[in-house]
Amino acid sequence: MKVKRLLSIGLVAALLVGALALTGCGAAEDGSGEAGDGSELSGTIDIQGSDTLLNVATAWSEGFMDANPGVDISVQGGGSGTGIAALINGTVDFANASREIKDEEREALEAQGGTVVEHRVAIDGIAVIVNPANGVADLTLEQLGRIYRGEITNWKDVGGADAEIVLLSRDSSSGTYEYFKEAVVAADDENAEYAASAKLLPSNQAIVEEVVGNEAAIGYVGLGYLSDDVQVVAIDGVEASIETAADGSYPISRYLYMYSDGEPEGVMAAYLEWILGSEGQQLVADEGFVPLP
């Protein structure tokens, strides 16, 4: 009985939060272009967007608020698209994104008299992983592309055992999925698609778990998700690491972005500068991403 009651209270609370979030997203389109409150190191910054960036963005906000108690920063996830939509609607000051802003989105903001300003805030190296028992530890970018397009379906064709390759990918909504497609799957032919048999898993962690449990699986994850239970596959002879991603020798790495409407001013500019400075970039490394060179 008690359990049921608690449950229903929780449910009502969840519904309320959901409803609020929905109204927030759909909120009126006036008040665009209102950014940071000018005064020195006090004020509020609202940030929303990419789940990839969520942990590091939270760490940034905590670090900055510790150093500047007058500043109040709120960070929300929800996805790159959600964050950019919120920026267009004028409900946030920065949108975190794990992909570049799309033309449609840029046009929507510009149609309201805004200007999109892009800030690169970190690099995400994407490591290709297999089970340690798999034996394959080196692939060329071209082989990897053929594997993910479904042209190579057996490990024996790339020097492994005679076993069917189990393709693991991030979900099609993920910025990582799109980046990996550009950089690997469709590197030579932009109309190429992932093999339809690729299993799309909802998180980096889900890919690691499946690779740990499956000798025939191959997957890709952010550098922060690597562990000793998986074998990192070197690409074109280069091992994925923070160093190789930062100096550009590792071929599969991408920028992570924050977008603002117009050049940031006041507290927003201070925050961005702090993120790009040594303290902010140290947090980037702590969270498993690659600091900007």
Partner 1 sequence: MAIVILAAIALFLVYNAGRALTEVGLGTMLSGIQWYPTSDPGKFGMLPLVLGSLLVTGVALAVGVPVGVGAAVFISEFAGRRLKEVMKSVIEFMAAVPSVVYGLIGVAVLIPLVKDVFDLSSGLTALAGGIVLGVMSVPTIVSISEDALHAVPDDLRHGSAALGNTRWQTTFKVTLPSASSGIFAAVMLGLGRAIGETMAVLMLTGNAAVMPTSLFDSVRTMTGTIAAEMGEVVQGGLHYSVLFTVGLVLFAITFGINLAADLVLERQRKRWRR
Chain positions contacting partner 1, by CB under 8 A: 3-4, 7, 25, 51, 77-82, 84-85, 88, 99, 102, 104-105, 108, 163-164, 166, 171-175, 177-178, 181, 191, 193-194, 196-202, 206, 209-210, 213-214, 216-217
Least distance (Å) from partner 1 to the CB of residue 254? 15
Closest distance of CB 274 from partner 1, Å: 27
Distance CA 85, CA 65 (A): 26
* Ramachandran angles phi, psi of 285, nearest 5°: -65, -40
Give the CA count within 13 Å in the CB-facing half-sphere of 244: 16
Residue number with CB closer to partner 1 (11 or 67): 11
Q: Note whether 253 and 221 are within 8 A (CB).
A: no
Q: At what angle do helices 278-286 and 54-67 cross, to 10 degrees?
A: 140
* Residue 109 Cβ vs partner 1, minimum distance, rounded to whole Å: 12
In the complex, the smallest distance separating the C-beta of residue 189 from partner 1, rounded to whole angstroms, is: 12
Confirm if 288 and 222 have CB atoms less than 8 A apart: yes
As a whole number of angstroms, the distance between CA 32 and CA 89 comes to 6
Choice between 170 and 272, CB closer to partner 1:
170
CB-wise, 105 or 268, nearer to partner 1? Answer: 105
CA dihedral 106, 180, 275, 34 (to 10 degrees): 20
Contacts of residue 115, defined as CB under 8 A and 6 or more positions apart, other chains included, come to 109, 261, 262
Residues near 171 by Cβ (< 8 Å), separated by ≥ 6?
Answer: 177, 200, 201, 202
Nearer to partner 1, 4 or 30 (CB): 4
- The nearer residue to partner 1, 173 or 249, going by C-beta atoms, is 173
Q: For partner 1, which is the closer residue by CB, 16 or 67? A: 16
CB of 148 to partner 1, least distance (A): 13
Nearer Cβ to partner 1, position 63 or 81? 81
Q: Are 287 and 146 in contact (CB under 8 A)?
A: no
User: At its nearest, how many Å lie between partner 1 and the CB of residue 56?
Assistant: 18
Is the Cβ–Cβ distance between 38 and 265 less than 8 Å?
A: yes
> Tokens 């020195």 correspond to what residue?
40
DSSP-derived secondary structure letter, 183: I
Q: How far is the CB of 66 from partner 1 (least distance, A)?
A: 29
Tell me the closest approach of the beta carbon of residue 87 to partner 1, in angstroms. Answer: 11
- Which H or E run includes 99? none
68 vs 134 by CB, closer to partner 1 = 134
Instruction: Tell me the three state secondary structure of residue 125.
Output: strand
